[in-house]
Each structure stands twice: as C-alpha cells, then as structure tokens.
Amino acid sequence: MAEQGIIKPFGNVSDTLKWALIAILVISGFGGSYYIANFLMTESSHLYQIGIWVLIVAASIGLVVTTQPGQQFIQFAKDARMEIRKVVWPNRQETMQATLMVLAAVVIMSLLLWFIDMVLFYIINFITT
C-alpha cells in the first residue's frame, strides 16, 4: 500500500526521463555558453549566450511543469494564492499605529541598552583605575 503524503522526486519513468533531459539541457547550456565565450568571440556573442539561456530556461520550465512534482508545485501555488486572498489586510490607520508602536519600542530599548552600557563602562573604569 502506498503511503499518503510522501512525495517522491521521480514519480515514474517519464518523470525520470524528463529530469534527465532537464539536466542535459542545463549542462549543454553551460557547454554552449563556454564555447561561444571562448571560441566565437564576436561582438554579438553575449546576445547568443543570453538567447541560449533564455531558450534553455524556457524549455526546462516547460518540462518541469509536466512532471508530477511540477504539477504539485503548481497546485501549491494556486492554493497559496487562494489563501492570500482570504487574508484581512490592515488599513492605513492600523498600519501607522503598529509602526509607531514598533518605533517607540526600538527607541526605549536603545535608551535602555545605552544606559546599561554606560553603567557597565563606569563600573569597569572604576575597577581598573
């Protein structure tokens, strides 16, 4: 019996092949980028490198979304978006009040730490002199 809730990174053979193809694409991207940078060296070689990487990233994303983990990620993103819509965001007045409370706490803590530092400084100065 399959255990619920356990996500296997490579669900089936087709997913494994897709991940292998993604790895091959990325490795070939590095190789192609290296070849263009070191052997072609034209004025537009940077444009070729960028173009290669844009195509590789697009193809890789296209392959990833067709895998089981990719589908689970898409579902997770949709669920997260739905939860974000349910959040009750504070209005301007609540935001300003919270900001002022945090600012006041920071000032109070700064003064308290400064006072403790000065007291310790005078105590250590008294002991050492």
9 Cβ contact list (under 8 Å, min separation 6): 19, 69
- Angle of CA points 23, 2, 72, to nearest 5°: 45
pLDDT digits (tens, 9 = 90+) for 117-126: 999 999 999 9
Question: With a threshold of 0.75, does the pTM exceed it?
Answer: no
Nearest to residue 15, comparing CAs of 75, 73, 74, 69?
A: 69
pLDDT digits (tens, 9 = 90+) for 69-80: 889 999 999 999
Per-domain residue ranges of the chain: 10-87, 90-129
Q: How confident is the model at residue 6 (pLDDT cuts 50, 70, 90)?
A: low
Nearest to residue 9, comparing CAs of 57, 68, 66?
A: 68
Nearest to residue 49, comparing CAs of 60, 33, 31?
A: 33
- Angle of CA points 88, 92, 93, to nearest 5°: 105
- Mean per-residue pLDDT, 48-52: 82
Q: Looking at residue 2, what is its pLDDT?
A: 52
- Mean per-residue pLDDT, 36-65: 83
pLDDT digits (tens, 9 = 90+) for 17-46: 888 999 998 898 888 888 877 777 777 777
Take residue 76 and report the two structure tokens written for it.
């997770």
Q: Rounded to an integer, what distance in angstroms lies between the CA atom of residue 11 and that of residue 70?
A: 11
Q: Looking at residue 36, what is its pLDDT?
A: 78
Asked if residue 54 has pLDDT above 80, the reply is: yes
Q: Looking at residue 34, what is its pLDDT?
A: 81
Q: Rounded to an integer, what distance in angstroms lies between the CA atom of residue 72 and that of residue 47?
A: 35
